[in-house]
Chains A and B, each alone.
Chain A
Amino acid sequence: MPSNTLYIENVDIGDEVPELVTTVSMDQVTAFFASYPRSNNSPDRPSRFNSDEQAKKEGLAGPIIPGVMSMALITKVLTDWGIGAKFKLLDAIFRQVVPQEEQIRAYAVITDKDEESNTIELDVYIEPMDGQPYVRGRASMELVSKAG
């Protein structure tokens, strides 16, 4: 096991997973969709993700981060932290649109721990630096046990 493996014995309910503070740019969103094997979100086709004008036509303040990229950021928070863990579930609700070019934080808190199945449950969030969550949800991961 890598030396930074996260063991079930070393986590507790209430522990906060280290947050990711980031500002997502339109270029990042474009690169994100470009990494898809197929994508409907070509930069040549104006959308709420790549055009300020189109976003405003749809009643938004400006371009937004796609929900699938919010899912990717939350997943990254969990997998960056849970070295050796198996990611099982992420169930998220997009409560508000997440704006581009605004500092956001993604984090998680352990809400349950089952040492028989080596599984933890977490609440997950993407929030502005001050304000109500844009995204809320829950996740489940299976960690490694020192007992093997």
Chain B
Amino acid sequence: MRRPGAHFIRNLPLQRKLMLIIMVCCTATLLVSSVFFVAREAKVLYRAQQEDLVSLADMIGKNTASALVFNDPKAAQETIRPLTAKSSILAAYVIDKDGRLFARHLAPNPGHADLPLEGLSDSASPAEVAEAVEQVKRGAYKSSFISGYASVVKPIRLDNEQVGSVVIHANATGFLHRLRWTILVALAFMAATFLAAYLFSARLQQMVSVPLLNLLDTMKEISASKNFALRVAKPSSDEIGLLYDGFNEMLCEIEERNQILRQRQAHLQQLAHYDPLTRLPNRTLFYDRLGQALFYADRAREAVAVIFIDLDHFKDINDTLGHRTGDLLLIEVASRLSTVVRSCDTVARLGGDEFTLFCQNIANADNAAVVGQKLVSLFATPFQLGASDIHVTASVGVTLFPNDGKTVDELLMNADIAMYHAKGCGKNVFALFDKKMNEHASERVTLLADLRQAVEQSEFLLHYQPKVDLLTGKVTSVEALVRWMHPRLGLLAPDKFIRLAEESGMIVELTEWVMRTACLQARAWQDANLPIRVAVNLSPYHFQRQDVKQAICSVLGATALDPSLLEIEITESALMQNDEYTCRVLGELREMGITISVDDFGTGYSSLSYLHRFPIHTLKIDRTFILNMMKSAEDQAIVTAIIAMAKSLKMQIVAEGVETVDQLETLKDQGCHEIQGFLVSRPVNAERVARFFTDDDHLQLHNACADAPGEDGAQHLIHGRT
């Protein structure tokens, strides 16, 4: 059961509560002390009054003792009569030993309350008198305050013997008046003290309430502003000070946690929106920003260029120089890209070696082309990574909003298509997207679908290109080259579909088919007493899958071909990737009697110092060197160097793409072992290959073949001239 007042007090404001406490204590103390003071004063006054009366009674007693003893009432009467002079005395009685009224005196002026002995007659019996005296004794104290008269009963003694009593009644007005005055003074004092206490408590309670209220204010401010950096100044070293300290510590803690939280959020934000390697925005952020940029561009009717950048041959760099170098190169590329764009543009890394960027506020397609060219020329200077310079180029595809697409996805897809187009155009260029490219891209998609069926439907066929020994002029071996007899597009060269096959993973099946077909053909030639060695190109894919030997063995097993009639051609980059495995497998293949040659030598990034460690029979110099050999002294020098190096490493040299007699002569002078190219023969079908070996003069035979009608008429004309 809660009292109603308790609830009220509990909900009072702190200041009021403190004041209330102080005032209640103060008032209680005041009240008690005032009551004590008044009571004491009353007692003192009463005693003083009584003392007066007692001394008077004593005097009367002394003076009436003899009258009592000698039974002389008159003398007693005379003795007490002078009391009339004293106005405060209302009555005085002398009672003898027997209890009878012996003498009495009454003040002349009445107007006081009835006195107990007043009504008694002179002849009243001792019992009546005794009763009245008893009444006086009992009410002596009370009568002073209530009835307004003071009384005293005093025995009269003579030589230790009581000879009578004296009773005196006095007016108590003086006493009461003084008492009233005392109470008045006490009340005034109380009021003054109460007022002082009120004023004092109003100040005093601030010692407790002000620091707490300040704390409260700060707390409110902090919760309103969320500014946890605020601190409160400690006002004292007491419990309130400790409270402040605790509050500050709590704020510190919150601030610290907030900071950690913010850092973590920033970190998460960074992780979510930025590429950890290059610190460029990632795909998510790029899509977001591009989306916004398109939104504003649409409103402002401005153009936005969306550009797709892909590094050329990055995979080779990664494979040959290691992922660490690849990563460093990506970082360098990123920082170089960042230098050319304006602050409002965004460069992002979508993954791998693909970068994208968009430029806002592009005036027209020419403007975008300028940007594209600028990006391509960024790669003109080689990248310095540690001690080595790395030359890398990029293919750039450019699309324009709104012409080439309205949405982010569309624009990026088209930029990707344009980039592929640039790659198709020989790389290290930029390409502006146009609608035809899209058609081309859809062509690619169709082609990919066709490719999947091509293997099953046996649409591939093999052509063979012979290699001729420059000293003897005889055909030494043939290279199997795949062709796709497309039902709609006709015969397609490998450059039209090998990349597609590699991207789609179809290359594995295709290579297996090529190998099996070539081996079967070689087996057929072998059976026809024509031991012709067939070279098959192995995709780097096989080396990634680490099933090279398995695949070759199964084909050899299936065809029962003499392994010495099989030659494996691998690219330089395939050689360098996973070099330990490659080295081991090639060694095993060589053990089996298979010939190993490196295709397109000079285009990769192989470290020459490692070359001798591989079990290689033959180096095939890339056709670009041969093509430029007669025009460029540098290329001539490279060819010379490769030949010299191969000789010293005891390797065979094959020059690819030999088309003119000048080239032939030069290579012959350099000491090149074999040549391959249109000068000797274009790739031909298996039947024609057999003819090379049934004739003595191969070049002659070739010339004869040149007269025969074929698909590549233009090539025949060149051959014809030789």
Are A and B associated in one complex?
no
B interface, CB within 8 angstroms of A: none
